[in-house]
Amino acid sequence: MERLLEHAERLGLGPWAGELAALIARKQRYIAGVDAKARRYLDTFASLPEGAPASVELASDRVRIGDPGDLDPASRETLRAALGDYRPWRKGPFALFGIELDAEWDSSLKWNRLREHIAPLAGRRVLDIGSSNGYYLFRMAAADPALALGIEPYLTNWFQFRLLQHYARVPQVYGLPVRFEELPDMAGYFDTVFSMGVLYHRRAPLETLAAMRRMLRRGGELVLETLVIPGEGELALCPAERYAKMNNVYFLPSVPCLEIWLRRAGFTAIRCVDVSRTTGAEQRKTEWVNTETLEDFLDPRDPEMTIEGYPAPRRALLIARNPG
């Protein structure tokens, strides 16, 4: 976290450095003091073995940090226990000093669906909202952005990121354990904003889209991925209680409805580049996941429906521009 402030000048964060410093100090106090799970995570972090990877490979589907030979066997076992303490691993896959972390989601599939469609990230300032353990931040870093900043409020995910970056030390990559709403108003700062898997968690999606647009410079790009419903009607589903057992899902639009939301939030050049049904190849249980997964969320008699009777998860990927 502090690294971001150390580099504030180079990163052009000057106008927001004070607010970011206050936010970071607040989060540090919270993590160290209030939250029992976070204190355990801190203890686990302190137990991590020393080690420096001889090489890091960010451009492959499995992000590889070091090789088995970079760490002695006893240290590898200590590391494996730490990784176990930080379960569930939702996003991946990673290989950390030869330990293969097959996460619940094979996130390479989404990255490969979008990579050809986005503006090249070289030299850009990128914000990833809901960055989880940073899988996409690491993949972005392979394209040499000026900055890849992830924000992820859920501490288990953020500690996973912290652990991975502790070893990977990718210079452009930073992560803060904060919600989007907590970030200072960094109007016009970012060249690309990623919002993947987050919009359906928002109660006021149009306002969230407008807030994302504010963060973009004129001509900047939004990469939006969210759950959608099938059909051409300009309609959105609002689940009565839960959707796929999640109690924090508010709106699932059709693709035409999502395009209208983007237009009404001020975006132009709106393109839907992919719609995919989520399958068991993309989201499944692995040894690093100690919770339910996709197959538990679907109707056992009809996999086209969720357990609540809604259309099964499908996700659309849209790209849009901030005209300024």
Ligand X SMILES: Nc1ncnc2c1ncn2[C@@H]1O[C@H](C[S@+](CC[C@H]([NH3+])C(=O)[O-])CC(=O)[O-])[C@@H](O)[C@H]1O
Q: Which of 27, 64, 76, 91 binds ligand X (CB under 6 A)?
A: 91
DSSP H helices, the chain, are 2-6, 17-33, 36-46, 73-85, 108-114, 135-141, 155-168, 205-215, 255-264, 294-297
Stretch in the footprint of ligand X (CB under 6 A) among 76-84, 148-156, 165-173, 213-221: 148-156
Q: Which of 153, 184, 266, 311 binds ligand X (CB under 6 A)?
A: 153
State the pairing for strand pair 314-321/216-228. antiparallel
With H, G, I as helix, E, B as strand and everything else as coil, classify residue 205: helix
Which residue, 220 or 313, has its beta carbon nearer to ligand X? 313
Q: How far is the CB of 55 from ligand X (least distance, A)?
A: 25
> Which x/- pattern, by CB under 6 A, does the window 110-129 give for ligand X?
-------------------x
**CB contact set of 9 (below 8 Å; sequence gap of 6+):** none
DSSP H helices, 47-154, are 73-85, 108-114, 135-141
Q: Which of 130, 175, 239, 313 binds ligand X (CB under 6 A)?
A: 130
The one-character DSSP state at 226 is: E
Q: Does 106 bind ligand X (CB under 6 A)?
A: no
Q: How far is the CB of 151 from ligand X (least distance, A)?
A: 5
Per this entry, what is the length of the chain? 324
Q: Which of 70, 102, 152, 221 binds ligand X (CB under 6 A)?
A: 152
**Segment 252 to 291, residues that bind ligand X, using CB under 6 A:** none
103/88 Cα distance (integer angstroms): 8
Q: Which residue has the tokens 């609540």?
A: 308
**CB contact set of 72 (below 8 Å; sequence gap of 6+):** none
Which residue, 129 or 257, has its beta carbon nearer to ligand X? 129
Which residue, 196 or 262, has its beta carbon nearer to ligand X? 196
> Which x/- pattern, by CB under 6 A, does the window 169-198 give for ligand X?
----------xxx--------------xxx
Which residue, 130 or 220, has its beta carbon nearer to ligand X? 130
Q: How far is the CB of 239 from ligand X (least distance, A)?
A: 16
The 10 Å Cβ neighbour count of residue 216 is 27
163/201 Cα distance (integer angstroms): 26
> Which x/- pattern, by CB under 6 A, does the window 191-230 give for ligand X?
-----xxx--x-----------------------x-----
What CA–CA distances, in Å, run from 40 to 85, 130, 220, 265, 289? 9, 23, 40, 41, 19
Q: Does 158 bind ligand X (CB under 6 A)?
A: no
Residues in contact with ligand X by CB under 6 A are 91, 107, 129-130, 132, 151-154, 157, 179-181, 196-198, 201, 225
